[in-house]
């Protein structure tokens, strides 16, 4: 399949490389051209514009960092879209933004699928992401091969907006869990308990979690290399809380966790891993 991939950041690069490795023809574009280098070196062709990339492809995948960026890319790509083409945005955005992108794409005659992913850098590298899809079901059917190349599972959730909402719920839970985990590590240290022993105890009980097992050792070592930048986790907490506000649903735990991420951002942790929320707890 001829695939355009727009966005060559911490997630986009390994996702595009996996498509190349599976034998797909990949055309890449990024707002900062230099970021495409790892994918071009792996065999992709670089387009001069988002619309040029879309015009050359059957299906376009988009992975950017914010709702504002996703909307801007859709506008930039519009002139390269037409009937018979597909546009799949795998960025994490709110439902309103996703609906706006869908309207732009569908105005050209192309089909639209939102497919935000659950997973960070390592699952992207391993082709083990989870895609939360909604929109045009026919396009979902056409994208089975690339979705299965980049991920370990994919779900079709219905109309545009449902995928975005599911992703925000998942990331809200994840962010709240990490906040509680950081508090537990900090409290154990204050109690003169060995934090590595705490990790062992947690791993053997009902609250065992792959996230705790993966992040705990590096958190105890004070290392926060970004797999999922903290600024993006806080953005997702903010969007999830806004969604809850629209539905008059109280979210006191998520709201408290969001304050920790905001404090960490003020302290300069934007580009560290979201587990660096530990610094805000310890401060």
- Domains of the chain with CATH codes: 2-159 (3.40.50.720), 165-282 (1.10.1040.10)
| Long-range CB contacts (within 8 A, 24+) of 41-46 | 42/16, 42/17, 44/5, 44/16, 44/20
Looking at the chain, the whole-number percentage of residues with pLDDT higher than 90 is 100
Tell me the mean pLDDT in the region 18-24. 98
The pLDDT of residue 49: 98
The pLDDT of residue 283: 87
> What are the angstrom distances between the C-alpha of 283 and each of 38, 219, 263, 279?
38, 15, 10, 6
pTM to 2 decimal places: 0.93
> What is the C-alpha separation between 206 and 190, in angstroms, rounded?
24
The pLDDT of residue 36: 98
Mean pLDDT of the chain: 97
Tell me the mean pLDDT in the region 78-98. 98
* 167 carries an active-site annotation: yes
Tell me the mean pLDDT in the region 16-37. 97
Of 85, 165, 167, 235, catalytic: 167
pLDDT higher than threshold 90 for residue 162:
yes
């Amino acid at each position: 399949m001829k695939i355009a991939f727009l966005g060559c950041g911490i997630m986009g690069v390994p996702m595009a490389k996996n498509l190349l490795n599976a034998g797909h023809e990949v055309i890449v574009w990024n707002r900062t051209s230099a970021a495409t280098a790892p994918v071009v070196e792996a065999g992709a062709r670089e387009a001069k514009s988002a619309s040029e990339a879309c015009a050359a492809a059957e299906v376009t995948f988009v992975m950017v960092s914010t709702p504002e960026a996703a909307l801007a890319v859709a506008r930039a790509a519009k002139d390269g879209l037409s009937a018979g083409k597909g546009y799949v945005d795998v960025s994490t955005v709110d439902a309103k933004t996703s609906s706006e992108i869908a309207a732009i794409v569908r105005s050209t005659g192309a089909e639209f699928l939102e497919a935000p992913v659950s997973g960070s850098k390592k699952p992207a590298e391993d082709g083990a992401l989870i895609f939360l899809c909604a929109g045009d079901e026919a396009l979902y059917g056409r994208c089975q091969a690339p979705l299965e190349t980049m991920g370990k599972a994919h779900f079709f959730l219905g109309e545009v907006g449902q995928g975005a909402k599911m992703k925000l719920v998942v990331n809200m839970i994840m962010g709240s869990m990490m906040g509680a985990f950081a508090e537990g590590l900090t409290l154990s240290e204050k109690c003169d308990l060995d934090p590595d022993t705490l990790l062992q105890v947690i791993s053997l009980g009902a609250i065992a979690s792959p996230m705790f097992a993966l992040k705990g050792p590096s958190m105890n070592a004070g290392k926060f290399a970004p797999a999922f930048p903290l600024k993006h986790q806080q953005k997702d907490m903010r969007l999830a809380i806004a969604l809850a506000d629209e539905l008059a649903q109280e979210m006191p735990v998520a709201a408290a966790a969001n304050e920790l991420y905001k404090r960490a951002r003020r302290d300069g942790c934007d580009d560290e891993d979201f587990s660096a929320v530990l610094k805000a707890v310890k401060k």
